[in-house]
Copies of this chain bind each other. A is one copy, B any other.
Amino acid sequence: MVTGGVQSLGEFELIDRYFARSTVAAGKRPDVILGVGGDAAVLRLPPNTDLVAAVDTLVAGRHFPVDSDPRSIGHRALAVNLSDMAAMGATPAWATLALTMPCADASWLEGFSAGLMQLADAHEVALVGGDTTAGPLTISIQILGYVERDSALQRSGAQAGDILAVTGTLGDAGAGLALLTARLAACDRAVADELIQRFEYPAPRVSFGWRARGIASAAMDLSDGLVGDLPKLCAASGVAAHVDVARLPLSSALRALVPASEARELALAAGDDYELLVAVPPRRLDDLAAVARQLNLTLTPIGELRRGNGVTWGFEGRPYAALGHGYDHFR
Contact = CB atoms under 8 A, between A and B. Distances in A.
A220 B39 CA distance: 7
Contacts of A38: 87-88, 154-156, 220, 236
Interface of A: 1, 3, 8-12, 14, 33-34, 37-45, 50-63, 83-85, 87-88, 90, 94, 96-98, 100, 103-104, 128-136, 138, 140, 142-145, 147, 149, 152, 154-156, 220-221, 232, 236, 328-331
A34 B218 CA distance: 14
Contact of A84 (B40, B63, B135): B40
A94 B144 CA distance: 12
A42 B52 CA distance: 5
Number of identical monomers bound together in the oligomeric complex: 2
Contact of A59 (B97, B134, B152, B232): B134
A149 B132 CA distance: 29
B330 A132 contact: yes
Contacts of A42: 50-52, 88, 147, 152
Given A11-B330, A33-B50, A37-B236, 4 more contacts: A51-B144, A58-B133, A59-B134, A134-B329
A72 to B, nearest CB: 18
A196 to B, nearest CB: 23
A23 to B, nearest CB: 16
23 contacts: A8-B331, A11-B328, A12-B232, A12-B328, A38-B236, A39-B84, A39-B88, A40-B145, A41-B52, A45-B45, A53-B94, A55-B97, A55-B98, A55-B129, A56-B98, A56-B131, A57-B100, A57-B131, A59-B135, A98-B98, A131-B140, A132-B329, A132-B330
A145 B42 CA distance: 9
Contacts of A155: 37-39
Contacts of A53: 40-41, 43, 94, 96, 128-129, 142, 144
Contacts of A144: 51, 53, 144
Given A34-B154, A135-B62, A51 B43 contact: yes
Contacts of A34: 152, 154
Nearest to A51: B43
B131 A40 contact: no
Closest 3 CB pairs of A and B: A40-B54, A59-B135, A39-B87
A240 B304 CA distance: 67
Interface centre among A8, A88, A135, by most chain B C-beta atoms within 10 angstroms, is: A135
A79 to B, nearest CB: 14
A329 B37 CA distance: 17
A13 to B, nearest CB: 8
Contacts of A138: 100, 133, 135-136, 138
Contact of A63 (B12, B61, B133): B133
Contacts of A96: 53-55, 142
Contacts of A57: 98, 100, 131, 133, 140
B130 A55 contact: yes
A42 B138 CA distance: 26
Contacts of A45: 45, 51
